[in-house]
Amino acid sequence: MIKYADNTIAPQVRYMWKTVFGDPDAYMDIYFRDKYRNENTLVYIEDGKPVASLQMLPYMFTFCEKEIPIAYISGACTLPAYRGKGYMSALLKQSFQEMRKRNIPLTLLVPQDAGLMEFYAPFGFAQAFDAGTEELPSLKELLARHPDDLYGAYREFDGWFRQKDMTVQKSFDDFCSIVEEAALFGFPPKRNLMGMARIIDAETLLSVFAQHYEDKIFSLSVKDSLLPENEDTFVVQGGECKRQRKEGDFHFHVPIGELVQLLLGYHTSQKDEPLRTLFPEKKPQMNFMLE
């Protein structure tokens, strides 16, 4: 059975996190105080107790120069004795339905290793963010430039990312948590994170894309075995996206995992024509996620 967490279940979710990830209590104190919310936490109940869970953390994401709501999947874990039974699969599928109800068109996650990338791929996730090779600006130096002015530091921090397309944005509250977590570990160097993305609402994302690129004309048939609402033929023309049975010009078929890479401009210059012209290459980035 899948349900949302409540105040009785929340401590058990924290126990699961500690058991699976082994993070320090001081870090978990920050996370469960600032990021964890019952209403964003799905839990799988078996034998009368929570055995698997995940959180859907809300963020804003700049997509085609417009900020859209996204859900960042965090803390996805299953107790060791209950693995291999499909509980996480069920949670992921349910999370997609919950996101659609909330009008969230896109979800992101940061897999811990290559094995988890393979696990998430059948659920429509695809790599859309590369790991950074260069260090991001230092938070420690940032704070030193703004003594006793945390909001001033945030404004400079926000200036690093707010105007960048295909980028996860942070609120002032997010920034406060980021600073506290960084201080806890001695302000270690940070880089962009390797991440995966999954489309929840293809029509919404294609519509935003069409509005931004009014000169683009193409049609595509989307394949999505988990979210049938996305499985349709879409025509992009004149700044609009419409569902249409008839195939238009520059028609192509695309699975949902490839579509997210195209829309986010992930290495699209390496695609064959007409894809590399239709979908301009970008540099999606995700960082400072309390990882």
Predicted confidence (pLDDT) at residue 286 exceeds the cutoff of 70: yes
Residue 243's φ and ψ, nearest 5 degrees, are -75, 135
Residue range 207-256, pLDDT digits in tens: 999 999 999 999 999 999 999 999 999 999 999 999 987 666 668 999 99
Helix (H) or strand (E) holding 184: helix 172-184
Spatial separation of the C-alpha atoms in residues 47 and 50, rounded to whole Å? 8
Spatial separation of the C-alpha atoms in residues 215 and 198, rounded to whole Å? 26
Token representation of residue 176: 């406060």
Contacts of 80 (CB under 8 A, 6+ apart): 19, 20
Contacts of 16 (CB under 8 A, 6+ apart): 50, 51, 52, 53, 77, 78, 79
Determine if the peptide bond prior to 24 is cis (ω within 30°): no
Residue range 151-186, pLDDT digits in tens: 999 999 999 999 999 999 999 999 999 999 999 999
Where helices occur in the chain by DSSP H, the ranges are 10-21, 25-34, 87-101, 114-120, 139-145, 150-161, 172-184, 202-212, 256-263, 275-278
* HSE-up of residue 36 (Cα within 13 Å, Cβ side): 25
Spatial separation of the C-alpha atoms in residues 135 and 193, rounded to whole Å? 11
**CA torsion angle for 224, 228, 230, 232 (degrees, to 10)?**
90
Which domains does the chain possess? 2-104 (3.40.630.30), 139-190 (no CATH), 202-278 (3.30.1050.10)
Token representation of residue 174: 């997010």
- 51 C-beta neighbours (distance < 10 Å), count: 21
The pLDDT of residue 246: 67
Contacts of 206 (CB under 8 A, 6+ apart): 234, 236, 241, 263
Spatial separation of the C-alpha atoms in residues 235 and 220, rounded to whole Å? 7
**What mean pLDDT is reported for the chain?**
97
Predicted confidence (pLDDT) at residue 45 exceeds the cutoff of 80: yes
State mean pLDDT over 84-92: 98
| AA identity, residue 156 | E
Going by C-alpha positions, the residue among 242, 223, 219 that lies closest to residue 231 is: 223
